[in-house]
Amino acid sequence: MDNKCGCWALLKRSVIGSCKPSASRDSAKTIPRTSLVYDAGWIEENGTAPAKPGSGITVAVKSLKPDGLQGHREWVAEVDFLGQLHHSNLVKLIGYCIEDDQRLLVYEFMTRGSLENHLLEEYNAKLSDFGLAKAGPQGDKTHVSTRVVGTYGYAAPEYVMTGHLTSKSDVYSFGVVLLEILTGRRSMDKKRPTGEQNLVAWARPYLADKRKLYQLVDPRLELNFSLKGVQKVSQLAYNCLSRDPKSRPTMDEVVKVLTPLQDLNDLAILSYHSRLSQQARRKKKSEGTQQHTNASSKSIRNSPLNTGKQRCR
């Protein structure tokens, strides 16, 4: 790949650092040496490179970390993949820049942020970060081999141990995403207590025990979730996170499980109020029975027959 700024929608850097589309292919030497990357306004930082906003046209700029997991090879792969793929659920790559040791990718800016920020209303979710993507196995091969790279907390255990990637490795990673949605936690969170920093390790015992299942659910939901939905998603996450890749479902099977859940309306809060109401009725009935028993006992004690017996003694 040439040492040039530009791509499918070529970018020029003006003296103020704003992004402008250009139809020409300019050498990096002829473009003013002003950076698209700024110190303030970080968008996100994943396991490969930080992404920051530019100015002028609203964009997200991802720069390659010299000491990160992603190298030049993965950076080129990201350009190649997103240059060939155009889909409504993929973040659009606007341009790229190679200048000396600096590697920049310029993406469309997603105003709603990432999944961990919020899940509100209906919007078109988009995938990004294709630097570590690889073509799947061809012919009779069951896997592709690669050096172990990726975002901490999402990599399947067999991939970490052997470097072998299969479609079931992606299923495992999706299981981690399901857990993040279910719990409201990050896959890796150093701010939590030692036993809770790795989401999968912490959640696995709860997923395996239905009696503990609801301890997983994000408390901020305040019971505004479907009981059946939580059970189904939890079981699906448990299957996706199986240590045995062969036991994990295919993504087709995952879709078949998730699709019907959109129509569920059995809110946990309704079930909770129903249980409280039942408990209140049982308590009231129990108190009424106890009062009747106490009244009967008092009546017997005050009976003339009982009084006469006491006098005879």
Of 91, 113, 135, the one marking the end of a domain is: 113
Residues 229 and 108: their CA atoms lie apart, in Å, by 33
Q: Given this model, what pLDDT does residue 144 score?
A: 43
Q: Given this model, what pLDDT does residue 25 score?
A: 38
Q: Is residue 102 part of a domain?
A: yes
78 CB burial (10 A radius; 0-12, 13-18, 19+): buried
The answer on 56 and 4 residing in a single domain is: yes
Q: For residue 167, what are the CA distances in angstroms to 13, 156, 159, 247?
A: 40, 11, 11, 12
Per-residue pLDDT 10s for the chain (313 aa) are 544 443 333 333 333 333 343 333 333 333 333 334 333 333 344 433 444 444 455 677 777 666 555 567 777 777 777 777 776 777 777 777 777 777 777 777 766 565 554 444 455 566 655 544 444 444 455 444 444 455 678 888 888 888 777 889 889 999 999 999 999 999 999 999 999 999 999 999 999 888 888 888 898 888 788 888 889 999 999 999 999 999 999 999 999 999 998 888 777 655 554 554 555 556 666 666 565 555 555 555 555 545 554 444 4
Ordered DSSP codes for 198-249: BHHHHHHHHHT-GGGGGGSS-GGGTT-SBHHHHHHHHHHHHHHT-SSGGGSP
Give the range of the structural domain holding residue 167, as residue numbers without chain letter.
154-288
Q: Within 10 A of 66 (CB to CB), how many other CB atoms are there?
A: 9
Q: Is residue 298 part of a domain?
A: no
The answer on 94 and 158 residing in a single domain is: no
Residues 176 and 293: their CA atoms lie apart, in Å, by 57
CATH number for the domain harbouring residue 84: 3.30.200.20
Mapped to the 3 state alphabet, what secondary structure does 276-290 carry? HHHHHHHHHHHHHHH
Q: Given this model, what pLDDT does residue 284 score?
A: 63
The answer on 167 and 284 residing in a single domain is: yes
The answer on 99 and 188 residing in a single domain is: no
pTM here is 0.56
Q: Given this model, what pLDDT does residue 42 score?
A: 35
SS3 at position 106:
strand
Q: Is residue 103 part of a domain?
A: yes
133: tokens are 């993507």
The answer on 250 and 169 residing in a single domain is: yes
